[in-house]
């Protein structure tokens, strides 16, 4: 899932990875241009599909973390509160709970 592999990256980090890999090497991140709009679009698609609840929860947490790490604190806070993530976190696996704690802190 591209969203889970990129939500924590800034575009500068992706550019550094691609520069170190060199032009001849193929990198997972080659040609990737991160933007909040792209990640929001992927999150909306995941929320609209018939995925398991834990995958929808993970995608929303990834988006909230991405927004907050890029300085969009108010939007991250609004998304966090409106989606009622705190109510859905109980009983989830440890990976999702760790991601939830990253969002809260």
Query: Cα-Cα-Cα-Cα dihedral of 8, 93, 87, 59, to 10°?
Result: 30
pLDDT (tens digit per residue) in 69-82: 888 889 889 989 98
Q: Is the dihedral of CA 69, 34, 2, 43 positive or negative?
A: positive
The mean of the pLDDT values for the chain is 77
Quote the pLDDT of residue 74: 92
Residues contacting residue 101 through CB under 8 Å, at least 6 positions apart: none
Average pLDDT over residues 41-68: 81
User: Is the confidence at residue 92, as pLDDT, over 70?
Assistant: yes
Given pLDDT bands bounded at 50, 70 and 90, which one contains residue 21?
A: low
3-state SS assignment for residue 63: helix
Percent of the chain with pLDDT over 70: 71
């Amino acid at each position: 899932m591209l969203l889970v592999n990129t939500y924590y990256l800034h575009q500068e980090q992706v550019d550094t990875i691609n520069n170190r890999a060199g032009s001849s090497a193929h990198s997972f991140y080659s040609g990737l241009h991160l933007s909040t709009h792209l990640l929001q679009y992927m999150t909306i698609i995941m929320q609209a599909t018939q995925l398991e609840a834990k995958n929808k929860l993970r995608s929303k947490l990834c988006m909230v973390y991405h927004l907050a790490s890029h300085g969009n604190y108010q939007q991250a806070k609004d998304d966090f509160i409106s989606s009622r993530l705190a109510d859905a976190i109980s009983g989830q696996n440890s990976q999702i709970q760790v991601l939830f704690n990253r969002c809260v802190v």
